[in-house]
Amino acid sequence: MGENLFRFKQFSCSHGRSSIKIGVDAVLTGAWADVSGCSNILDVGTGCGVIALMCAQRNPTARVLAIDIHTDSVEEAADNFRNSPWSGRLNAMQADFLSLSSQLSHKFDLIVSNPPFFSSGISTADTPRIAARHEVTLSPATLIENCRSLLSDYGRLDMITPADKGVGFVELAAENGLKLLRYCYVKGTPAKPPKRILLEFGMYGNKSTGDGGGEPLKIESPRSDNSLVLEVSSGIPSDEHRRLCHDFYLYY
């Protein structure tokens, strides 16, 4: 059990049964997503529930629904929620994102996800881990194209994707009535090119922009004010990485 238990400052998260282990992408997403002003949050493809737990920690009043299609993941997430300080505000549900709107009567102020984004050409998956890592049952495009029916009037979608796919997803979002509100390139070290990009979308006219719904942001080349460097050298976290994840990692 010990080797499958990931300990954070305010909670511990078992990740031995779920479809994918806790990784840097999930923690970055949970720490970077804008949870302010949210009453209802949806974590799509929750796995063991780590992003949902991080959102519950960061927003002391929000209710968080975590969904996954993988039975063992949902059961493990539910166990992690019960063992957390925020058990009364967290719920794990086995559900398909594409049919969720027909099962619920309420909408969400934030949808957050670390979606599968490996396109290997496979159409079926032999194991839950393969399905979790490949665009078989869920993808960034699926989230963008289908989130509006689940978002409240001023709702947001926060996600992480490969850096080289960011511009394409921004264009897809615009086609689906969503504007880019924030983005952040993620680089392993200062000398490496970006590997990931964190994206936040909202409805056109989203009040959180404070501009009455003006033009969306456009993704530009990475620079100091729109990127995050994880390590200054091997094993040494950058100051900005420490600040972002300070409330979670034990050694930050």
pLDDT at 212: 47
Q: Is 217 exposed, middle or buried (0-12, 13-18, 19+ CB in 10 A)?
A: middle
pLDDT at 195: 96
pLDDT tens track for 57-103:
999 999 999 999 999 999 999 999 999 999 999 999 999 999 999 99
Picking from 97-101, 168-172, 210-214, 225-229, which range would have the lowest pLDDT averaged per residue?
Answer: 210-214
The model's pTM is 0.89
pLDDT at 204: 64
- As a whole number, mean pLDDT of residues 151-180 equals 95
pLDDT tens track for 2-46:
468 999 999 999 999 998 889 999 999 999 999 999 999 999 999
| Residue 144: how many other CB atoms lie within 10 Å | 23
Torsion sign across C-alpha atoms 155, 54, 243, 236: negative
pLDDT tens track for 104-161:
989 999 999 999 875 544 444 444 444 334 345 689 999 999 999 999 999 999 999 9
pLDDT confidence band for 169 (50 / 70 / 90): very high
pLDDT confidence band for 205 (50 / 70 / 90): low
